Amino acid sequence: MANTKNIKQKANSTPDRKLDFNGDWSYAPSLEGTEHIKIEKRYGLFIDGKFSAPKSGKYFATINPATEAKLSEVADASAADVDLAVKAASRAYEKSWSKLRAAERGKYLYRIARMIQERAREFAVIETMDGGKPIRESRDIDVPLAANHFFYYAGWADKLEYAFPGKKPAPIGVAGQIIPWNFPLLMAAWKIAPALATGNTVVLKPAETTPLTALKLAELIRDCDLPPGVVNIVTGAGTTGAAIVQHPSIHKIAFTGSTDVGKLIQKSIAGSDKKLTLELGGKAANIIFEDAPLDQAVEGIVNGIFFNQGHVCCAGSRLFVQEAVIETVVAKLKDRMESLIVGNPLDKNTDIGAINSASQLKTIQQYIQIGKKEGAEFYQSSCTIPAKGFFCKPTLFLNVSQSHRIAQEEIFGPVLAIQSFRTIEEVIEKANNIPYGLSAGVWTDKGSKIFNLTSRLRAGVVWANTYNKFDPSSPFGGYKESGFGREGGLHGLYPYVKF
């Protein structure tokens, strides 16, 4: 009994159980260098293997969301510019790419993959400058994964008959691809690699706030000696995207972005023979059972909602914690949030970078106001955020109701809605009670519980005891209003072939 007495004595001397995560020792700035980075003052459109000025004559600025400084100007492609790009892609499809031996297509893709690896640092730094994500993520996740996607689909190029046994897969033609601002280079890789591997040519439009890495990819593709017109990259906003969607010579649309725009696209191509894949919004349930490895689950919650500032369609933005452990989990989560560093995305120690744009920051702030009005308990970490640039502290809402808008609508920011649950039936019902169905997470020590949930959660991806894991060989895509079609893996070839 000496020990219990001992513990009590010591306990009395330290009644305050708060942990101090600031203290004397802080990390000095460790900035990734930008002096080797070459960004042109102005970028034209990448059509038919070269950069050219837009017929529209119009340009718009792209800024660094962490500093609000202008980085470059990019062309605003009009319908006439898009037409040129589609014509170049059609020519390339007819003349060279669809006739090339499959193994040769594969070689080009391998070359692109290797060159991304060679220029990895440059891509990572520009991705961070243009989009605001921390260099830790662009360096360790976005750029390596982008290269891996090209490697993966390079391997499929000459093995398509094994992917579709007994069938004769043929390319479709010109693919129009429209990608979002949250993973600019990675999404370009997800779109371009399978299209090229299967013998299609592409016209790709990056998002208007993050065009630079796609344009650097255009330079890289030019340096790879890819036949002109196989990949065309046109920059612009919604009207440029609409011109791609409506162009009669495009046979396939692949879109990643918001559900609203996805619906518009589907409406506008109704009645045409265009093939379509949509990867849209999400509001994923991340479910923690009482028998879960709690410290790892907390890390999974953080990776689920604060990865890329929460600008992730599959973000674990709804957290469900079983009631017996919710106090423990929330306390651990709050501690963990204190050690998250919010700030300059180019600092290697930054965990949470800048919100992608002023308008997205406004959206997030509006949802925070809505959450407060709805009566959920609001919590933010004690970190400081830079005065300039677009930043948002990591945010929790506790005691959230299923009917709250912050539990129903996609916020696309570092804002987590937390609910507790008691039974498995209850949590499955709540998790599925949403228009979206992109992803979910399950945390438990019991394998049987995992399989029970994976088969009953209506989500395209379910992670067990981990979150936000991506691999080129694993298909990704949604149910319901999160879209249809799969990207990645063998399944990612289907949208780009006909039989």
Look at residues 476, 116, 495, 491 and name the one whose alpha carbon lies nearest to residue 279: 476
Min CB(11)–another protein separation in Å: 4
- Give the phi and the psi of residue 236 in degrees, each rounded to 5: 155, -175
Quote the Cα angle for 305-310-316, to 5°: 35
> Mask 297-326, x = binds another protein (CB under 8 A)?
x-xx--------------------------
> Mask 425-464, x = binds another protein (CB under 8 A)?
--------------------x-------------------
Q: 314 an active-site residue?
A: no
Min CB(129)–another protein separation in Å: 18
Stretch that binds another protein, among 4-12, 96-104, 447-455, 478-486 (CB under 8 A): 4-12
DSSP state of 165: T
Does residue 474 interact with another protein by CB under 8 A? Answer: no
DSSP of 69-99: -EEEEEE---HHHHHHHHHHHHHHIIIIITT
Stretch that binds another protein, among 3-11, 62-70, 145-153, 354-362 (CB under 8 A): 3-11
Min CB(357)–another protein separation in Å: 27
DSSP of 120-157: HHHHHHHHHHHH---HHHIIIIIHHHHHHHHHHHHHHT
Stretch that binds another protein, among 10-18, 59-67, 366-374, 434-442 (CB under 8 A): 10-18
Given 279, 410, 481, 487, the catalytic residue: 279
Min CB(415)–another protein separation in Å: 22
Does residue 40 interact with another protein by CB under 8 A? Answer: no
Give the span between the Cα atoms of 78 and 236, in whole angstroms. 8
Residue-wise over 261-271: b if at least 16 C-beta within 10 A, else e? Answer: bbebbbeebee
Give the span between the Cα atoms of 119 and 114, in whole angstroms. 9
Nearer to another protein, 73 or 299 (CB): 299
Which position among 96, 452, 466, 474 is part of the footprint of another protein (CB under 8 A)?
A: 466
Stretch that binds another protein, among 19-27, 62-70, 216-224, 411-419 (CB under 8 A): 19-27
Given 122, 137, 208, 313, the catalytic residue: 313
CA–CA distances in Å: residue 90 to residues 45, 312, 428: 17, 33, 47
Q: 313 an active-site residue?
A: yes
> Mask 105-144, x = binds another protein (CB under 8 A)?
-------------------------------x---x----
Burial of 75 (0-12, 13-18, 19+ CB in 10 A): buried
- Asked if 243 contacts 85 with a C-beta cutoff of 8 angstroms, the reply is no
Alpha helices in 157-253 (DSSP H): 160-163, 184-197, 212-223, 238-246
Which residues in 263-302 contact another protein (CB under 8 A)? 291-297, 299-300
Nearer to another protein, 93 or 289 (CB): 289
Does residue 24 interact with another protein by CB under 8 A? Answer: yes
Residue with tokens 């990448």: 46
Does residue 11 interact with another protein by CB under 8 A? Answer: yes
Quick count: other Cβ atoms within 10 Å of Cβ 380?
Answer: 15
Three-state DSSP state, 317: coil
Stretch that binds another protein, among 14-22, 179-187, 406-414, 481-489 (CB under 8 A): 14-22
CA gyration radius, the chain: 24
Does residue 20 interact with another protein by CB under 8 A? Answer: yes
Residue with tokens 């518009």: 264
Residues annotated as catalytic are 279, 313
Q: Which positions lie near another protein, rule CB under 8 A?
A: 2-4, 6-7, 10-12, 14-15, 17, 19-30, 136, 140, 291-297, 299-300, 331, 335, 339, 348-349, 445, 465-466
